[in-house]
Structures are given as structure tokens and as C-alpha cells.
């Protein structure tokens, strides 16, 4: 009997003990984090699947795992198909599987802390179709049988210095509290750790890649806060930093606190898009009048202040030094032909670690040579990695967490001489990158309105890429941050000054090569003579050469060539004083005019 | 006592008789038509306001009219401010006015035939806030006191020949009926006259500018139809044309038919976005299981078939002849300086009337000289019209209904020598027009994704325009047709081949001049070597010179100049054989290369 069969069997026994037929196992924690702590890796423990998104449904005689197109192959390798039917999460969704497999009268259990209300409504409808029912379980049955479940991280939450944060927590709390008071709302429940980290100017080490302290909080209209966090995670220095307006509660008391909060029909705000069903259950149980609204920290957190922008620029100078040293090293080492993906990305990480304020990577590096570059969410392993061979592209998408900023950059490097088709595609991706980076737009414009600018040059040749053009980025916080984004998906969120987004069009030829050119860009006001509208544009933050050896100059117009030459001159002038002479010499060549 | 005061007084008496305090008077008919029959001009009868959008609310001691920014000035001129408070429909919405002015316990009445369900839900919430109630009235109290209310149009519905429609009604009905059957839906209620006209291949003359027969219909899953239409509007030829699968009912029997339709919980489809609350009331009263869904005629009607596209091309050739004769005439007559807006647009209409299959204008012509061109929805009157003066722009936005197609075109003509600023703005508008007309995009792209292409050149200078870039256009039907459009407003409707939209960026300098360059363009498949996606683009239908005298060539790039020269060559080659020698000579000059 395999480990997985054993685990699945013990979960089914526990389900029977709790009087339910089935259970939902999402790849989610209590905060809907992108990166979850080891103690929340329930899906991986049960099924073996280690991807970043997915869901398992367990019934007495059947079980299935649902993953998206990125992970179809990986799930096939990691999950025992005899135990879990493998399904595409949108083409054969879990709701349909439940409707077809749950039997009349059976109860499907779920952990209300791990699902949002809209999810639960969909699963309840599916169970209803089958003649069964969905039931909220007080005690997660998987946790009951997961004997060696990792303990929560003991690492402390630490103050995030005002010289990086730019605004005091008092000021931030005051601003949001005033709008709560104006809306006659008693309090807001905050469930996103990055919102709380931003609001209280603290950081932590509880999940990989993002400096989050896992916690919940309640902010009241009088600007006081109760922070619910594991005991021991607040050393005296952090406790003192939080000040007297922040009370501290134990996580196990959070539910009772929510019930007390809304007593007497008080108006309590929570975000149905991100707060779990359990939060709403507790508020309702206490008698609250629930005011559903987006997390009020999202917009002020996304619109970086001047200090955060200055920090982002400084972090990107350091990141640019590391990248440039790396690219110079690669240019010298690659012709030997012996370089492989993992060693190359390790070298990049070594250069980054030497930078001041470096705290770690901001996500797992994508280091893809040749055909591996065409796998959008590729992660190199010893089994999969390829050598960097002449006539190929090498794609590296990486980023770091610095105390003063978060970076995310992709460069595609020609190893040897690219084919005319590769040059054509690279140049179209670059034209899209430039079109977005250089555009101006009036106040009120959303990222979805700008998305086509980055795709236009590819579209003209009948080409496209199947991912968004840009995601929001935090300030020493999540490398993926909302609500701003540049995407085909319709959005009502205007871009406002201070928001940082990525600009990362790409092109992928399966089995051959992948191209992506990514800089981070910040929304900035633009002053133009005769402008009749409040006008915004982008400031490029990322500083690293774009490989001129991969460009077909004949496809570029004068304005595009001018943009590239100006960008390269800025990279050269900024970084030359910060690198060693050999790197500086390489940089001088790499950033020369295209014309 | 004025006529309006008298009418308002008699309405209030009737409201008291019916036992309600107030009443909603929208500028809408029973079909949510854009152009309404004279018998539905209730808002104009009550208030004097003749604009195309608005709402009045009448209470015992107060009344208000709500109009949008286009109509603020017009409402001030037309409506007695002592009788009706004047409000901006979005800045001081009717819901807030109702909440503030309805008294506790009072009842606000509405005619359920004139409002959609979402509207009624908003007004009910507003009345509830005031402690009052909203009530549906069986008999419209305004109609009860409108003694000289025009009779419905007696003009007949006529067959729309297959050589224009391209697909038989049987085929259209069969296609939609099959999808009803597949969804286990008994029938769909059709309330949009243009949907019914398309489905049954009939046309009429019941409203201005759009060849609609006012009617309702029910299409069943067995492909049979009951058409509810005034007796006498179906002459024998039309009745025979409809065939045996189409039954005919009287409009006064429509309600009972809806109640019978859903009896026994049968599944009946209707569109909450366009069907009135009365439709849903009747279906519910009959016990129907209502399936809310968009009108199933919308997409097949919007995606024109090959015959309709061929008709559109032919109609645009005739329209292009009229426009070109007009522009040649204007070029000769304008320097005299005595031309005025109304006489000029009358001249254009005269040329159009000479075209084969001409049936009338498709909307009121916008003929704006100088500063009047900056008023987006301008309509010339003897009091407002200006002369076409040297150094100004003349903007003319006009269109026609032909049996084989509907046209809509805007040209902006330099009278004498435009200023450098005017040339700059004209050229930016033209660049936007060309960017949209020449773009290619993958299957699945929506109009909102393309909108920024048309604004980009203006945005770079801090300029923009406050209207959509393009609206859908029907085939000898509405000049404004959904669901396709090119707009900042987010849309989930992909552009599909055969859809016709306008491409009409503009620029308006209040008090000085207006610019708009509009062609109709059709979505067409594009074959490109090496294309990896199903690729679409646009075919320009409109054929008329764009004024080269207003262009600043230095702002145009080679691809843009090539687009313009190629378009002009096509206009010249197509129209020269169709116009008189003097017009042909002018056309040869007007369409010469820009370079």
C-alpha cells in the first residue's frame, strides 16, 4: 500500500467518523495566500501534487484532482491516477464532477476557513444537483489524520522601518478609519496578511517568497486595531513598535471576537472576494449587519508613496547590478556550451545575494533553455533541465525581495545566432513591451484598456500569448498584488499614480523556444503642454540590458529605436559606477545604440 | 396657466383618482426603442423636453426632470423650471430625488410596460428608503389624460426580400428553436422590434429613422411563432409571406398569451436587459419558470451574412456617390462664404435621395460649422445655425437607410486654411481612425480591448474624446445596434465576422471646433502566412474622401500614409465610374497621394 493510498484511506475513515461522505481539499490556506505555509499544504500531503493551484474532492468510492492547463503534465507525474481521477479545472470542473458522483442523501464536507463564500455557493449548488448536501465542518478531517503536520512557523514578525514604509501605521489607520466612520461602519475585518503587514508596517517569514506574518486583524472606526497572531511571534521590540492603539489577541479567540464584534446588529465590513466563508459565518452568528466591500487596504497599498517609490528605484539599481553581472558572466561563459539551467540560475542568485537589503527571492526562478523556455510556468529540475545551446534562446524570469522593494524581471538571451523567425518574434515582443512602457493615458484608464498595446505587433502576424501582460507588485510584499493589472480580462480598476505593474509580453513556440521581456513600471503623472486631461504614463524601474543580438532592427520604427537607446543609456549611466570594470566594459557594448 | 401646467395638473388629478401620490414618466416605449413612435412621446407631452433620453418624476407638490450632460442646456430651454426641478441624471439621480421627496406612506406609481426589471428594483429601493412604496399601475395615468394622443402608425409591415436578407426566416427560426430545444426551454419572448423584423424578414415604418414594425413575438422550440401586431398592419402579401408557421395575435391579447405560455411551470426565456417588467409580471402570473438570457436574435442579427455584407457594400457605393457629389459641391460653393448648416445638410440629403433603394435618413443629420461642431449631439436649428466660414472646420455626421444596408459616416472639412493646432488635432484623430481600421486581432477579442488603439495618438498629447469609438450598425435596421461596440466600457462580447461597427474617434474644442472621422467597418477573417491564431481584421465599407487639406503630414508615419493613399485609391477607382465628369475631376484631386 502506497503512502498516498494510506493517507486517502485514513481520511475516508475520519470522514465516516464525522458522518460525512466526502470532503473538499483546496490548495488554499485561511488567508487565500498565493504562497502557503507548509502546515497548509494539505493538497500536496494528500495527493502528492505540488503545484500552486488545484483542488481534490474525496468521496467514499471515488476521488478526483482538478488542475489547470499549466499543471496537467505535472499532476500526471505526481498523482496516482488509480486513486485520483485527473481533471482539467475549467474543462471538467469540480462542480460537474460533484453533481455526477455525489449520491442522493450524501453529505460533502468542507472546511469553511479554506473557501470564500462564492466558492461555497457553487459547490452547494453542485451537491444539490446530485440530491446531496454541503456541510461546514468545525474540525478539518484531514488535519485530524495528518499526524506529522508541520507546526506553524515560529519566526517573529518584525517592524518595517518608516524609512522604507514612508507612512506611519497611525496615519494609514487614521485614513481608513475615517472612511469607516463616514460610512457608519463599526469595523472592518482584515484577512489578507499583506494588507495587515502594510497597515501595521510589519513583516514576517511565515510563507515562502513573501515577507508575511500570518495573522488576522480588526480595524475599528476609532482607528484602534486588534491583531490576532500566534503567541511568541511578537517579540518585545515589535510589540512596542505596534503601540497602545493595537491590541493583540490569540488566533483561537478570533472567532469569538468576530461574534462579539457584530452583536446588536452593528455594521461590520468584510471582503467576500478574499475573506473565508468562516468569517462571514461568525459575523452572522454574532448578529452583525455585514457590509461587503473590497479590503480597504488594497488601493492605498497598491499606490506606493514617494518613499516606497524611492525604495523601489534603489532596489532596482541593486537588482540591476546583479542582473548585469549575471548577463556579462553569461555572455562570457555561454559560448563554452556546458552551462545548464540550474547552475545558471544559481549563479544569478549568488550575484543577487550580495546586494544590500537582500532578503530572498520573490518567487521560484524560471530558468528555461531552448524548448523549456516555451513552458510558461517552467521550473527546472535535474530531470528536466537542458543545456544552453548555440542557436537557442535562454529565458530567465526572476526576482528578489529587498527591504526597500520587490523586483521581478525577465530577460531572453540569444545563445549564439538566433534564426530569422526567432528575431522576428523577439522584436514583436519588444515592440509590445515598448508600446506599453511608453504610452500615456488619461486618468480613469484601466489596465485592460492598455493590454492590446502590448499585443498589437504580435496580433498583426497572427500571434499572441496566453497570459496577462502585467500584474501588480508590492513594496517588500507580494510579487503578485492586486487590484491593478494589465490584462485581457475586463477590469474596473483604474491605474493610479504609484501603482507598480509588470510589463511582460511574450511569445512561446511549443517544443522550440520561449520569449518574454519583462520590466517593472510605475504609474506616474505626466505633464504635457496643452494637455486637457490629467495624464499618466509609466516610469520603468527595472535596469538591465535587453539583448540587442536578438533584435531584427528593420522591424523597429524610429520612436521604438529611440526608446530602446534611451533606456540602454540610462541603464549604462546608472549601473556603470556600481559594477566592476569587466562588467562595465561588457555593459558599454551591450547598451550601445541599436541604429 | 400654461399648457404644461395644465397637463401636469390634470396628471396629478388622475394620480389622485388612481390612489397614488406620484408617477414615473420615462422617455421610453414598450420596446425600449431608441427612436419611439409619437404615441410614446409622453415625456415631451408632459414637460416639453424633446431630447432622446430622460425621465420625469411627478409628486403631489414637486416634480423633477432628469437628463444627461448632452441635454442640460436643451432642457433649460424647453422645460418650465417652475414646474420641474432640473437635475443631472447621474450627478443627482432620480433615485436620490425620490428618496428625498417621497413622503412616508406615499405610493409612487409606474407603468410596468415602460421599465425593465433592474430599473424597477432601483426605484423600489429608493421609494423604500423614503418609507414609501412603488406600485405597478394597470392603466397609464398619463395616457388617461393625454386627450389628443397620436394614434399608432397605420403603415403596414412589408416583406424584406431574401435578396437583401440572405437567409430565410424559416432557417433563422430553425436555428434559434434548436438551441431552445437543447436547453429544454419551451419558448422565448421577443420584445425588440428589430429582433422580430430580423427573425421574420419584415420591415415597417412605425418609428422615425429605423424601418421597424412595432410588435411583440413568441418563438417556440418547435420553430413556430406568434406575432402580436396591430390589426391592419399585415396586408395579404405580408401575411402570405410569413407563412403558416407564423400565427398572428392582437396586441391586447399578448398578456393573456404570456400567462398561458408558462402555465404548469414551463420554462420560458426572456431578456431582463430589454424586456419590460410587465413581461416578467405576466410570465410569473402564469406560473412560468423564467429563464433569463440575452435575446437570442442579437448575435445572429449582428453577424451579417454574405448577402447582407454584399448589400452593405452596394449601399455604401451609392452613399459614397452622394457624399462625393456633396463634397465636390461643397468645395466649389464654400469659398463663397454664404453657406449655412441647414442648407448644406439639405443639399446632402438631396444627393442621397437620388440613390437606388434609398428609404430615408438613418438618424437626424449633425451639421455643425465652427464651434457648433464641438457639440457632440448637435442638431442645427434656424436659431443655432452658423455659416461655414474660412479658417473653420465643418463637421457633418449623417447616414441613410437603403433596402440593402444602413450607412453612417462623418467627415470634417477644412473651410479655407486650418490653424496648425487644428491640423495637429485632425491628424491625431485620423491616426486613431487608421489604427483601428487597420488592426488585426485574434478570435475572442472584444471591442473594449481595441478602443485604446483609436485614442492612443490623442492620449500622447493629453487629449481624448468623451464618447465611444464605435457602435454596431444593422442591415436596413437600427443605425445603433448591439451587442458589439468599441468602447472604454468593459464588454464581454467578442467581435465576430460579419459584425458592422463604426470607427469614429473625434476631438472637440468647446467654443472653437469639432473633429470626427467616421467610417463603417466590418469584421472579416484575415488569412496570414504563419498565423497561429484565428485572426480577424476590418474591411472598410464607407467610401468617401477624407479631407487631405486638414492633415499635418509630418505627424503621419509611412504605414499610415500608405493606408490613406490606398483607401483613397479604392474610393477613386470605385466611385469614378459612378459620378458625373465634374465630380470625377474633383475626386481625382481629392484622392491623390498624400506623400
Query: Each residue of B30-83: pLDDT tens digit?
Result: 999 888 999 999 999 999 999 989 999 999 999 999 999 888 888 999 999 999
Residues B248 and B392 in one domain: no
Residue A78 has what pLDDT? 94
Please write down the long-range contacts of B171-175, taking CB distance under 8 Å and 24 or more positions apart: B172/B198, B172/B199, B172/B201, B172/B297, B172/B300, B173/B199, B173/B219, B173/B223, B173/B225, B173/B245, B174/B223, B175/B300
The angle that helices A306-333 and A341-353 make with each other, rounded to 10 degrees, is 140
Residue B595 has what pLDDT? 72
List the single residue in B440, B456, B462 with the smallest CB-CB distance to A459.
B440
The total domain count for chain A is 3
CA distance A182 to A184: 5
Least CA distance to B557: which residue of chain A?
A: A557
Least CA distance to A531: which residue of chain B?
A: B462
CA distance B40 to B150: 9
3-state secondary structure of B367: strand
Q: Does A526 touch chain B (CB under 8 A)?
A: yes
Q: A440: distance to nearest CA of chain B, Å?
A: 5
Residues A332 and A443 in one domain: yes
Average pLDDT, chain A: 96
The angle that helices A447-459 and B447-459 make with each other, rounded to 10 degrees, is 90
B505 contacts in A (CB within 8 Å)?
Answer: none
* Residue tagged 518595517 (cell numbers): A160
* A440/B460 CB distance under 8 A: yes
* Residue tagged 545563445 (cell numbers): A415
Phi-psi region of B289 (alpha: psi -120 to 50; beta: other; left: phi over 0): beta
Q: B299: distance to nearest CA of chain A, Å?
A: 20
List the single residue in A449, A492, A533 with the smallest CB-CB distance to B462.
A533
> Is A150 within the bounds of a domain?
no
For the stretch B140-154, pLDDT in tens is 999 999 999 999 888
CA distance B438 to B447: 14
B468 contacts in A (CB within 8 Å)?
Answer: none
For the stretch A483-496, pLDDT in tens is 999 999 988 899 99
Q: Does B555 touch chain A (CB under 8 A)?
A: no
CA distance A560 to B87: 49
Q: A347: distance to nearest CA of chain B, Å?
A: 36
Q: A88: distance to nearest CA of chain B, Å?
A: 21
Residue A1 has what pLDDT? 67
For the stretch A298-326, pLDDT in tens is 999 999 999 999 999 999 999 999 999 99
Mean pLDDT, rounded, for B444-459? 97
Q: How far is CA A572 from CA A324, A434, A546, A588, in A?
A: 10, 18, 12, 7
Task: Identify from B532, B557, B561 which residue to disrupt to test chain A contact, counting A C-beta atoms within 10 A and taking the largest count.
Answer: B532
Element (H or E) spanning B217, and its range?
A: strand B216-220
Mean pLDDT, rounded, for A199-223? 97
Residues A169 and A101 in one domain: no
Which of B99, B120, B145 is at the close of a domain?
A: B145
Is the Cβ–Cβ distance between A594 and A561 less than 8 Å?
Answer: yes
Task: State the pLDDT confidence band at B1, using cuts at 50, 70 and 90.
Answer: low
* A452/B456 CB distance under 8 A: no
Q: How many CB pairs under 8 A join A and B?
A: 86
Residues A25 and A129 in one domain: yes
Say how far residue B508 (Cα) sits from the centre of its chain.
21
Residue A336 has what pLDDT? 81
Task: Identify from B425, B459, B530 which residue to disrupt to test chain A contact, counting A C-beta atoms within 10 A and taking the largest count.
Answer: B459
Residues A113 and A191 in one domain: no
Residues A24 and A67 in one domain: yes
CA distance B423 to B426: 5
Residue B528 has what pLDDT? 86
Is the Cβ–Cβ distance between B134 and B124 less than 8 Å?
Answer: yes
Residues B293 and B174 in one domain: yes
CA distance A530 to A316: 33
Q: Does B441 touch chain A (CB under 8 A)?
A: yes
CA distance B205 to B212: 6
Task: State the pLDDT confidence band at A425, using cuts at 50, 70 and 90.
Answer: very high
Nearest to A211 by CA among A230, A228, A199, A193: A193
> Is B151 within the bounds of a domain?
no
Grid cell listed for B257: 398569451
> Is A153 within the bounds of a domain?
no
* A462/B535 CB distance under 8 A: yes
Which of B301, B326, B354 is at the close of a domain?
A: B301
B456 contacts in A (CB within 8 Å)?
Answer: 439, 453
Grid cell listed for A284: 452572522
3-state secondary structure of A91: coil
Q: How far is CA B340 from CA A539, B323, B361, in A?
A: 49, 18, 20
pTM listed for this prediction: 0.92
> Is B376 within the bounds of a domain?
yes
> Is A592 within the bounds of a domain?
no
Domain span including residue A115: 2-145
* Residues linked to residue B415 through DSSP beta bridges, in sequence order: B392
List the single residue in B439, B451, B532 with the smallest CB-CB distance to A449.
B451
* B464/A456 CB distance under 8 A: no
Residues B39 and B79 in one domain: yes
Terminal alpha carbon distance of chain A = 66
Residues B588, B589, B591, B595, CA torsion sign: positive
A448 contacts in B (CB within 8 Å)?
Answer: 448-449, 490
Q: Does B486 touch chain A (CB under 8 A)?
A: no
Residues B174 and B273 in one domain: yes
For the stretch A114-147, pLDDT in tens is 999 999 999 999 999 899 999 999 999 999 999 9
3-state secondary structure of A324: helix
Q: B100: distance to nearest CA of chain A, Å?
A: 19
Which of A99, A114, A145 is at the close of a domain?
A: A145
* A452/B453 CB distance under 8 A: yes
Q: What is the DSSP letter of B446?
A: B
Least CA distance to B451: which residue of chain A?
A: A449
Q: Would the pLDDT of A544 be above 70?
A: yes
CA distance A571 to B106: 70
CA distance A465 to B532: 10
> Is B243 within the bounds of a domain?
yes
CATH of the domain at B558: 3.90.230.10
* A490/B492 CB distance under 8 A: yes
CA distance B11 to B188: 36
Residues A197 and A280 in one domain: yes
Task: Identify from A428, A452, A510 which residue to disrupt to test chain B contact, counting B C-beta atoms within 10 A and taking the largest count.
Answer: A452
* A459/B451 CB distance under 8 A: no
For residue A90, whether the previous peptide bond is cis, meaning omega lies within 30 degrees of 0, is: no
Residue A152 has what pLDDT? 85
CATH of the domain at A179: 3.40.350.10
Q: B415: distance to nearest CA of chain A, Å?
A: 24
Grid cell listed for B523: 469584421
Average pLDDT, chain B: 96
For the stretch B154-193, pLDDT in tens is 899 999 999 999 999 999 999 999 999 998 999 999 999 9
Task: Identify from A464, A526, A536, A556 which residue to disrupt to test chain B contact, counting B C-beta atoms within 10 A and taking the largest count.
Answer: A464
Is the Cβ–Cβ distance between B164 and B198 less than 8 Å?
Answer: no
> Is A594 within the bounds of a domain?
no
Is the Cβ–Cβ distance between A514 and A375 less than 8 Å?
Answer: yes
Residues B123 and B167 in one domain: no
Q: B462: distance to nearest CA of chain A, Å?
A: 4
B562 contacts in A (CB within 8 Å)?
Answer: none
- What is the DSSP secondary-structure string of B383-431? TT--B--TTEEEEEEE-EEETTEE--EEEEEEESPPPHHHHHHHHHHHH
For residue B521, whether the previous peptide bond is cis, meaning omega lies within 30 degrees of 0, is: no
A446 contacts in B (CB within 8 Å)?
Answer: 490
* Residue tagged 437606388 (cell numbers): B356
Task: State the pLDDT confidence band at B529, using cuts at 50, 70 and 90.
Answer: confident
**Burial of residue A129 (number of CB atoms within 10 Å: 0-12, 13-18, 19+):** middle
Task: State the pLDDT confidence band at A529, using cuts at 50, 70 and 90.
Answer: confident
- Share above pLDDT 70 across residues of chain B, in percent, rounded to a whole number: 100
Q: How many CB atoms lie within 10 A of CB A186?
A: 21
Residues B489 and B499 in one domain: yes
**Burial of residue B359 (number of CB atoms within 10 Å: 0-12, 13-18, 19+):** middle
Q: How many CB atoms lie within 10 A of CB B175?
A: 13
Q: B527: distance to nearest CA of chain A, Å?
A: 9
Task: Provide the chain A residues 452-471 that lie in CB contact (below 8 A) with chain B.
Answer: 452-453, 456, 459-464
> Is A526 within the bounds of a domain?
yes
**Phi, psi at A310, each rounded to 5°:** -65, -40
B460 contacts in A (CB within 8 Å)?
Answer: 439-440
3-state secondary structure of B333: helix
Least CA distance to A452: which residue of chain B?
A: B449
Task: Identify from A459, A506, A535 which residue to disrupt to test chain B contact, counting B C-beta atoms within 10 A and taking the largest count.
Answer: A459
For the stretch A35-57, pLDDT in tens is 899 999 999 999 999 998 999 99
Nearest to B409 by CA among B337, B329, B318: B318
List the single residue in B439, B530, B532 with the smallest CB-CB distance to A456.
B439
Nearest to B160 by CA among B361, B359, B356, B403: B403
Residue B41 has what pLDDT? 96
CA distance A349 to B479: 60
* A490/B535 CB distance under 8 A: no
**Phi, psi at B339, each rounded to 5°:** -75, 140
CA distance A94 to A123: 8
Amino acid at each position: 500500500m502506497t503512502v498516498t493510498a494510506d493517507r486517502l484511506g485514513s481520511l475516508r475513515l475520519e470522514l465516516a467518523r464525522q458522518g460525512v461522505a466526502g470532503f473538499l481539499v483546496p490548495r488554499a490556506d485561511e488567508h487565500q495566500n498565493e504562497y502557503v505555509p507548509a502546515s497548509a499544504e494539505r493538497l500536496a500531503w494528500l495527493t502528492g501534487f505540488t503545484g500552486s493551484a488545484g483542488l481534490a474532492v474525496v468521496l467514499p468510492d471515488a476521488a478526483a484532482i482538478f488542475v489547470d492547463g499549466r499543471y496537467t503534465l505535472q499532476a500526471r507525474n505526481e498523482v496516482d491516477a488509480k486513486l485520483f481521477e485527473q481533471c482539467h479545472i475549467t474543462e471538467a470542473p469540480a462542480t460537474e464532477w460533484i453533481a455526477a458522483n455525489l449520491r442522493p442523501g450524501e453529505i460533502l464536507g468542507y472546511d469553511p476557513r479554506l473557501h470564500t463564500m462564492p466558492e461555497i455557493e457553487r459547490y452547494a449548488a453542485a451537491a444539490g444537483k446530485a440530491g446531496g448536501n454541503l456541510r461546514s465542518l468545525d474540525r478539518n478531517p484531514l488535519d485530524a489524520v495528518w499526524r506529522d503536520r508541520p507546526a506553524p512557523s515560529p519566526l517573529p514578525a518584525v517592524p518595517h522601518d518608516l524609512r522604507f514604509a514612508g507612512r506611519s501605521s497611525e496615519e494609514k489607520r487614521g485614513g481608513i478609519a475615517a472612511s469607516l466612520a463616514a460610512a457608519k461602519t463599526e469595523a472592518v475585518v482584515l484577512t489578507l496578511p499583506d494588507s495587515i503587514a502594510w497597515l501595521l508596517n510589519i513583516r514576517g517569514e511565515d510563507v515562502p517568497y513573501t515577507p508575511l506574518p500570518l495573522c488576522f486583524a480588526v480595524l475599528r472606526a476609532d482607528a484602534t486595531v486588534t491583531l490576532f497572531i500566534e503567541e511568541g511571534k511578537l517579540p518585545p521590540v515589535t510589540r512596542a513598535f505596534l503601540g497602545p492603539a493595537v491590541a493583540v489577541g490569540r488566533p483561537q479567540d478570533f472567532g469569538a471576537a468576530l461574534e462579539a464584534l457584530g452583536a446588536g446588529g452593528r455594521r461590520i465590513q468584510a471582503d467576500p472576494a478574499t475573506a473565508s466563508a468562516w468569517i462571514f459565518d461568525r459575523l452572522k452568528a454574532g448578529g452583525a449587519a455585514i457590509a461587503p466591500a473590497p479590503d480597504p487596504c488594497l488601493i492605498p497599498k497598491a499606490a506606493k508613496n514617494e518613499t516606497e517609490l524611492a525604495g523601489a528605484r534603489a532596489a532596482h539599481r541593486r537588482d540591476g547590478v546583479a542582473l548585469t553581472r549575471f548577463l556579462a558572466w553569461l555572455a562570457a561563459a555561454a559560448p563554452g556550451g556546458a552551462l545548464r539551467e540550474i547552475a545558471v540560475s544559481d549563479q544569478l542568485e549568488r550575484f543577487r545575494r550580495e546586494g544590500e537589503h537582500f532578503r530572498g527571492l520573490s518567487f521560484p526562478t524560471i530558468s528555461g533553455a531552448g524548448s523549456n523556455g516555451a513552458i510558461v510556468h517552467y521550473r527546472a529540475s535535474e530531470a528536466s533541465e537542458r543545456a544552453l545551446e548555440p542557436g537557442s534562446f535562454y529565458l530567465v524570469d526572476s526576482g528578489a525581495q529587498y527591504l526597500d522593494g520587490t523586483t521581478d524581471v525577465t530577460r531572453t538571451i540569444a545563445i549564439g545566432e538566433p534564426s530569422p523567425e526567432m528575431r522576428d518574434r523577439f522584436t514583436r515582443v519588444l515592440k509590445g513591451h515598448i508600446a506599453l512602457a511608453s504610452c500615456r493615458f488619461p486618468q480613469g484608464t484601466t489596465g485592460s484598456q492598455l493590454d492590446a498595446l502590448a499585443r498589437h505587433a504580435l496580433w498583426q502576424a497572427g500571434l499572441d500569448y496566453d497570459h496577462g501582460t502585467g500584474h501588480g507588485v508590492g513594496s517588500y510584499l507580494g510579487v503578485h498584488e492586486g487590484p491593478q493589472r494589465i490584462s485581457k480580462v475586463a477590469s474596473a480598476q483604474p491605474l493610479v499614480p504609484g501603482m507598480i505593474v509588470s510589463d511582460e509580453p511574450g511569445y512561446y513556440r511549443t517544443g522550440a523556444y520561449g520569449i518574454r521581456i519583462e520590466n517593472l513600471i510605475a504609474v506616474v503623472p505626466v505633464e504635457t503642454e496643452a494637455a486637457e486631461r490629467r495624464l499618466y504614463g509609466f516610469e520603468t524601474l527595472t535596469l538591465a540590458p535587453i539583448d540587442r543580438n536578438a533584435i531584427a532592427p528593420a522591424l523597429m520604427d524610429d520612436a521604438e529605436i529611440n526608446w530602446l537607446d534611451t533606456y540602454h543609456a540610462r541603464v549604462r549611466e546608472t549601473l556603470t559606477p556600481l559594477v566592476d570594470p569587466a562588467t562595465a566594459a561588457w555593459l558599454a557594448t551591450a547598451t550601445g545604440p541599436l541604429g
